[in-house]
Structure 1
Amino acid sequence: MANEARPCPCDIGDKIEYGSLGEEVQIEHIKAYVVKPKAPTEKALIIIHDIFGWQLPNTRYMVDMLASHGCIAVCPDFFIGKEPWSPSNDWAGFQQWLEDKKPTNINKEVDAVLKYLKGQCGVSRIGVVGFCWGGVATHYISLQYPEIKAGVSVYGIVREKEDRYDLKSPTFFIFAENDFVIPLDQVTALEEKLKEKCTVDFQMKIFPNQTHGFVHRKREDINEPDRRYIQEARQDMINWLNKYV
């Protein structure tokens, strides 16, 4: 397995670098951004990117932040080199773009990353955090992998699977009140079914006045009225991971 790494600073033009704490590595057939704490640790987090891909500065900002809490954090390219969605793309073509990038078709990549974390990094406790597309993927992983100690799904729901309520690992769901992607009736329906069918711990939280993508805004993109909710959501995420991972 190749493991040759190279630095990857992500300069966004205002002297703030996102993604500068880690390095890019090759994990079997996929690339990944990895941040390792200075002290040895048995804990790791798989961070799953949104539709804008693994190199998005916002996502690498979250990888750096989560790793600062004493765990290895790895953000693989779950698109496997395919072009991520671009803000300039026509949304009319989104479903066609998504066709070969299903967030519920990631087992090969998850298995490779788990092998890497256990074999090369020596970790024994692994959690998953995902945003948007990655939030759906996190929900899916929570249904498929009992070895995952905890998941945090940030504005994402598995919609197309009938068995989407039988979580195998404790999962925290974060949603935004004003989310054009996930209407609140879908959140309510998910919570009702989980209460009925789920046998592991889960929690759902809706943050008032927030929109899709609010949790992984970069520092300079946070409006003052939103700051408390963003900080609260991130602390909730960390608390959940500390509890179970």
Structure 2
Amino acid sequence: MANEECPCPCNIGDKLEYGGLGQEVQIEHIKAYICKPPVETDRAVIVVQDIFGWTLPNTRYIVDMLAANGYIETNVTVKYLKEQCNAKKIGVVGFCWGGVVVHHLTLTNPEIKAAVSMYGIISMSDDRYALKNPTMFIFAENDTVIPLEQVTVLEHNLKEKCKVDYEVQVYPGQTHGFVHRKREDVKPEDKACIVDARKRMINWLNKYI
């Protein structure tokens, strides 16, 4: 889901033909995908996938892209990142269902240094505007799951109630899943939005982690 009220349309978009540069690891009772940058770092980002899970090539592509920008990337626990990867500064990124998880984490986990929620939103909780960490929200103008009215309400209330840095970006003409489920080489107008959204994601993480 991308919010509590409407089912997720994550079956739209493209599945990339991509193998990945990282490796699969077993962490207690779960499996995960991790990719480390070429140089030592104490910064890490947890990537929370959409409903297709951590094995989706599109998710691994985003993980590897973030790792190339200097982050240990994985969709596993904070404990593992601290104990096994020596991470001291941790952020979180999520898509669709994962974006809802990110919104929840930034409301409840003060250990997170920065968060980016893409087309995921908590819309039915009274305290959903009390963010504890700097958070960027990325939405699509033509998202059938998250109407612009919800985005407007979010932005209005964050302005009144949020005490940390936040940013809300809406990309014109785009649909649900565009950042990680659309190919960059099909429509020029899509590529500009995809590239800009990914750049903003990385810049936000770099600013706060």
Q: Counterpart of 2:34?
A: 34
Q: Mark the CA change 1:13 to 1:205 in structure 2 (over 3 Å): closer, same or farther.
A: closer
Decide whether aligned partners of structure 1 residues 143 and 13 sit closer, same or farther in structure 2, where only a CA change above 3 A counts.
Answer: closer
| Residue identity in the other structure for 2:103 | H
Paired with 1:127 and 1:225, the residues of 2 have a C-alpha distance of: 29
State the alpha-carbon separation in 2 of the partners of residues 13 and 119 from structure 1: 33
Which amino acid in structure 2 is aligned with residue 169 of structure 1? N
Q: Distance in 2 between matches of 1:36 and 1:52?
A: 23
Give distance in 2, aligned partners of 1:68 and 1:163.
35
* Amino acid in the other structure paired with 1:142: T
Q: Deviation digits for residues 144-184 of structure 1, max 9, x if unmatched?
A: 11110000000010123211110000000000000001000
Q: Does the Cα contact within 8 Å between 1:45 and 1:127 map onto a contact in 2?
A: yes
Name the residue aligned to 2:5: none
1:150-189 matched pairs, under 5 angstroms = 150-189=114-153
| CA-CA distance at 1:34 after TM superposition | 0.2
* TM-superposed deviation, 1:57: 1.1
Q: Is the 8 A contact 1:58 1:218 kept in 2?
A: no
Residues 164-215 of structure 1: CA distance to partner in whole angstroms, max 9, x if unpaired? 1100000000000000010000000011111111100000010000000000
Shift of 1:25: 0.5
Q: Is it true that 1:192 corresponds to 2:193 in the alignment?
A: no
- 2-side partners of 1:33 and 1:121: how far apart? 13
**Which one is further off, 37-46 or 215-224?**
215-224
Determine which of 78, 94, 112 is the counterpart of 1:114.
Answer: 78
Amino acid at match of 2:83: G
Q: Is the 8 A contact 1:61 1:218 kept in 2?
A: no
Deviates more, 1:58-67 or 1:217-226: 217-226
State the alpha-carbon separation in 2 of the partners of residues 184 and 161 from structure 1. 18
Deviation digits for residues 94-144 of structure 1 (CA, Å, limit 9, x no counterpart): xxxxxxxxxxxxxxxxxxx11100011101000000000000100100001
How far 1:221 moved relative to its partner? 6.0
Cα RMSD, aligned residues only = 1.8
Shift of the alpha carbon at 1:26? 1.0
Unaligned runs of 5+ in 1: 1-11, 77-112
Aligned identity (percent) is 61
Q: Structure 1 segments of 4 or more deviating over 4 A?
A: 218-222
| Higher RCO (CA-CA < 8 Å; seq separation 6+) | 2
Q: Distance in 2 between matches of 1:137 and 1:222?
A: 30
User: Could you tell me how far 1:217 is from its partner in structure 2?
Assistant: 3.0
Which TM-score applies when normalising by structure 1?
Answer: 0.76
1:235 to 187, 199, 209: 199
Look at both structures and tell me which one has the larger radius of gyration over its CA atoms.
1
Question: What pairs with 1:5-16 in structure 2 (closer than 5 Å)?
Answer: 16=17
Q: Which residue of 1 aligns with 2:176?
A: 212
Partner SS state of residue 174, structure 1:
strand
- Does the aligned pair in 2 maintain the 1:174–1:205 contact within 8 Å? yes
The 8 Å contact of residues 142 and 167 in structure 1, kept in 2 or not, is answered as: yes
| Aligned counterpart in structure 2 of residue 132 of structure 1, from 86, 96, 103 | 96
